Amino acid sequence: MKTVFSDTQLAHAPAQEISDGELKPAVEIPSRAEIVLKTVRDRNVGEIVAPEDFPIRPLHRVHSPDYVSFLEGFWEKWTAAGRSKEAFPFVWPIRSLRQDTTVNHIDGLLGRYSMDAGTPLGEHTYRAARASADTALTAAKMILNGEKAVFSLCRPPGHHAGFDFFGGYCFFNNAAVAAQYLRDYGLHRIAILDVDYHHGNGTQALFYDRPDVLFLSIHADPKEEYPYFLGYADETGEHAGTGFTRNWPLPLGTDWDGYTPALEEACRWLLVYKPDVMIVSLGMDCFENDPISKFAFKSEDYLRLGQRLKKVGVPTIFVMEGGYAVDALGTNCVNVLEGFEG
Ligand code: OKS
Ligand code: ZN
């Protein structure tokens, strides 16, 4: 299987993040991609190719132009306000506040375009996030050109990012951008299977009213885990998309045996839907030693996951999402790819 990767993605290198009421060292860091890349090389997964530079159009098919422009112009506005370190939002237009303001101050804009305070933005965030989206787009294009499986080594991740907001370490929704690109190039049905530990709220919301992109997600119960406010079992789509979203929230502590019934159900939905392409939002944060997560996958379970996904039998794009146990991240990720390749 070929891997798509760009060095530009490493330019987003946050130092700190807000979590557990403290400023802590950031966990969504460049070494995540570096260790996965090294393991892809060491275990001869296949050729590693650089992404194409795509125009802005495929991003605007998923994200609002004003949001994309906000990210592009963010650092200039941030530094013009006299700030020099990375940014965190801290005020949001919730419920009783106005949604329709044309706020101008960078602190207002940060709240307008975000969902949490846990996602630092820096000087190179936009460039890296563009490269990450280009990485997924290139994988999609390779599938259109006949590849049967491609690994899109994306970073920063994407599945929490929505139409006009960043959060959960995500800026552009790489999997969604790839899915929309495949639709725009004439494929009829795309399935996104999200196996990251966290619910992919951004992806779900983007396709919630659409039958042409099936969204299936297995994740930690949002009652107990980020993103808290989406990912419950009764969210199954709306309007024309009714029935085309499925969620399997699982209890903290879930191991492979606890996970497989949900995975089997998801695979049955895939069999019925018969997608032209499956996009796997591939987080490795179900791993037992993940520093921010509470599932109990072993490294071998990632081999099994890859083997099971192969049996779905459709062209597949793996898009990397989360996973923060850096030492094991390469092993766990390549286990999925090797399990898939057989
Ligand atoms: C607080 C924890 C925020 C969790 C972000 C989740 C990132 C992730 N700093 N999503 O899939 O892995
Ligand atoms: Zn995650």
**Of all protein residues, whose CA lies closest to atom 4 belonging to ligand 1?**
168
Would you say the CB of residue 196 lies under 6 angstroms from ligand 1? yes
- pLDDT of the residue at 248: 99
What is the whole-number distance in angstroms between the Cα of residue 168 and the centre of ligand 1? 5
End-to-end C-alpha distance for the chain, whole angstroms: 11
Would you say the CB of residue 225 lies under 6 angstroms from ligand 1? no
- What CA dihedral angle connects 32, 56, 185 and 243, to 10 degrees? 70
Would you say the CB of residue 19 lies under 6 angstroms from ligand 1? yes
In whole angstroms, how large is the CA radius of gyration of the chain? 19
Alpha helices in the chain (DSSP H): 30-42, 57-60, 65-80, 106-112, 125-144, 174-184, 201-207, 256-273, 299-310, 326-341
Quick check: pTM over 0.90? yes
- pLDDT of the residue at 201: 99
Would you say the CB of residue 321 lies under 6 angstroms from ligand 1? yes
**Of all protein residues, whose CA lies closest to atom 1 belonging to ligand 1?**
19
pLDDT means over runs of 10, the chain (342 residues): 99 97 97 99 98 98 98 98 98 98 97 98 98 99 98 99 98 99 98 99 99 99 98 99 99 99 99 99 99 98 99 99 98 99 95
Would you say the CB of residue 120 lies under 6 angstroms from ligand 1? no
* Closest to 110 in 3D by CA, of 132, 127, 93, 98: 93
| C-beta of residue 195 within 8 angstroms of C-beta of residue 283 | yes
Q: State the catalytic residues.
A: 160
Q: Which residues, including other chains, have CB under 8 Å from residue 104's CB and lie 6 or more apart?
A: none
- pLDDT of the residue at 128: 99
Q: Which atom from ligand 1 is nearest to the alpha carbon of 323?
A: 12
What is the whole-number distance in angstroms between the Cα of residue 313 and the centre of ligand 2? 25
| CA–CA dist 118, 291 (Å, integer) | 15
Q: Which atom from ligand 1 is nearest to the alpha carbon of 17?
A: 9
The HSE-up count of residue 5 (CA atoms within 13 Å, CB side) is 21
With 0-12 / 13-18 / 19 or more C-beta atoms within 10 angstroms meaning exposed / middle / buried, residue 46 is: middle
Q: Which residues sit opposite 194 in a β-bridge?
A: 217, 281
Q: Give the DSSP letter string of 251-280.
A: -TT--HHHHHHHHHHHHHHHHHH--SEEEE
- pLDDT of the residue at 26: 98
- pLDDT of the residue at 317: 99
**Of all protein residues, whose CA lies closest to atom 2 belonging to ligand 1?**
19
**Of all protein residues, whose CA lies closest to atom 9 belonging to ligand 1?**
19
Would you say the CB of residue 226 lies under 6 angstroms from ligand 1? yes
